[in-house]
Amino acid sequence: MSELVIEQVRKYVDLLLPSMGLELVEVQFRQEGHGWVLRVFVDSPDGVKLDDCSKVSRELSDYLDVEDLIEQAFHLEVSSPGLERTLYNMKDFRRFVGRKARLKLHAVVDGQKVFVGKILAAEDDTVDLVAEDGKEYHFAFAEISKARLSL
């Protein structure tokens, strides 16, 4: 059920956002505590303003009311991904070349699974990172289990 909701919301928001100068980062729909939460993260090269989130929230809320996709009560949250945003795909890595990131790998490399450093390049399916100790690493995107920007 939640995967269907995520897919439908993603399709709608992907059509809605370009006219607003925004792009979709991630959609999450999950049970938290005693209720369900639908989270939509949007971004823009110029940053996201509160007014942007409000507009997306109103449009999406109207769409969800008409389409009646979600049977149970839920809370809708629309926000930017934040300063320490998660990097979901190669497009994200390319966008943030030159920025500091924290990568967690599926397997141990050089005795560790977590690497913090500056993204040097992101091409094809490879992310190049210079760690804080100055050592350069080249990771296949498939090796990365989780990544986020770091301050």
The last residue of a domain, from among 50, 79, 108: 79
Asked if 67 and 13 sit in the same domain, the reply is yes
Q: What is the pLDDT of residue 68?
A: 84
Asked if 100 and 44 sit in the same domain, the reply is no
Asked if 72 and 137 sit in the same domain, the reply is no
Give the Cα separation of 82 and 85 in Å (integer).
5
Domain annotation covers residue 121: yes
Q: What stretches of 19-109 adopt beta strand conformation (E)?
A: 23-32, 35-43, 74-79, 100-109
Asked if 73 and 123 sit in the same domain, the reply is no
Asked if 48 and 111 sit in the same domain, the reply is no
Asked if 37 and 73 sit in the same domain, the reply is yes
Q: What is the CATH number of the domain that holds 6?
A: 3.30.300.70
Domain annotation covers residue 48: yes
pLDDT confidence tier of residue 111, bands split at 50, 70 and 90 = very high
Residue 8 is part of which domain span?
A: 2-79
CB 110 within 8 A of CB 94: no
Task: Give strand pairing partners of 77.
Answer: 39
Question: Residue 129: CA atoms inside 13 Å, Cβ hemisphere, count?
Answer: 27
Q: What is the pLDDT of residue 63?
A: 93
How far CA 136 is from CA of 20, 30, 90, 100, 113, in Å, comes to 39, 38, 18, 13, 15
Which pLDDT tens digit goes with each residue over 6-53? 899 999 999 999 999 999 999 999 999 888 999 999 998 888 999 999
Give the Cα separation of 109 and 132 in Å (integer).
15
Asked if 74 and 105 sit in the same domain, the reply is no
Which pLDDT tens digit goes with each residue over 126-135? 999 999 999 9
Q: What is the pLDDT of residue 1?
A: 58
What is the mean pLDDT of the segment spanning 67-77? 88
Asked if 43 and 14 sit in the same domain, the reply is yes
Q: What is the pLDDT of residue 4?
A: 85
pLDDT confidence tier of residue 106, bands split at 50, 70 and 90 = very high
Q: What is the pLDDT of residue 83?
A: 84
